[in-house]
C-alpha cells in the first residue's frame, strides 16, 4: 500500500467513525424519548367490578392472550403478560391483573398491577372545601 493509499484509507476510517458516533448519539436520544413516552411500571387502572366480564381491553392498550369461563385470564400490555388474581379471604371482592417484577429486600416477590376491578360504590368521597366551590363557581 502506498503512503497516499494509506492516508486515504485512514481518512475513510475516520469518517466512518464520526458517522457511527453520530448514529450512536441519535439512537441514545431516541431511546430516552421512548422511555419518556412509555411508562416503566403498570398503571394499576381502577374500574368497577361489574365491568370485568365485558371489559374492552383495547381501551387500556392491552390484548387478551388467554381466557376462560370467567373472562380474561392472561393479558398482554406493553410487551408484558399479566395474570388474573382474586383474593379468597375476608377482604372485599376484587379481580386484578398483575405480574412479578422481582424480589424485594425481604426476598419476597414484588408485583405490579395493570388493572384492578373492585366495587367502587364503597369508595368514600370527601366534600370540596368552600374556597374551592367558590372559585369553581359551583
Asked whether residue 109 falls in the same domain as residue 54, the answer is yes
Number of domains, the chain: 2
Residue 74 placed within a domain: yes
**What local confidence, expressed as pLDDT, does residue 31 receive?**
86
Tens-place pLDDT, residues 88-135: 877 789 999 999 999 999 999 999 999 999 987 766 788 889 888 888
Residue 18 placed within a domain: yes
Asked whether residue 86 falls in the same domain as residue 49, the answer is yes
List alpha helices for the chain, DSSP H: 3-37, 130-135
Residue 124 placed within a domain: no
Residue 57 placed within a domain: yes
- Residue range of the domain that includes 24: 1-38
Tens-place pLDDT, residues 49-68: 999 999 999 999 999 999 99
Asked whether residue 33 falls in the same domain as residue 52, the answer is no
Asked whether residue 49 falls in the same domain as residue 114, the answer is yes
Amino acid at each position: 500500500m502506498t503512503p497516499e493509499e494509506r492516508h486515504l484509507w485512514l481518512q475513510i476510517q475516520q469518517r466512518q467513525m464520526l458517522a457511527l458516533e453520530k448514529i450512536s448519539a441519535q439512537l441514545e436520544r431516541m431511546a430516552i424519548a421512548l422511555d419518556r413516552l412509555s411508562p416503566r411500571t403498570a398503571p394499576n387502572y381502577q374500574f368497577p367490578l361489574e365491568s370485568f366480564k365485558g371489559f374492552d381491553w383495547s381501551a387500556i392498550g392491552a390484548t387478551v392472550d388467554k381466557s376462560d369461563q370467567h373472562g380474561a385470564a392472561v393479558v398482554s400490555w406493553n410487551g408484558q403478560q399479566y395474570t388474573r388474581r382474586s383474593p379468597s379471604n375476608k377482604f372485599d371482592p376484587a379481580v386484578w391483573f398483575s405480574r412479578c417484577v422481582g424480589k424485594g429486600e425481604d426476598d419476597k416477590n414484588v408485583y405490579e398491577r395493570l388493572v384492578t376491578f373492585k366495587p367502587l360504590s364503597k369508595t368514600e368521597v370527601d366534600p370540596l372545601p368552600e374556597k374551592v366551590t367558590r372559585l369553581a363557581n359551583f
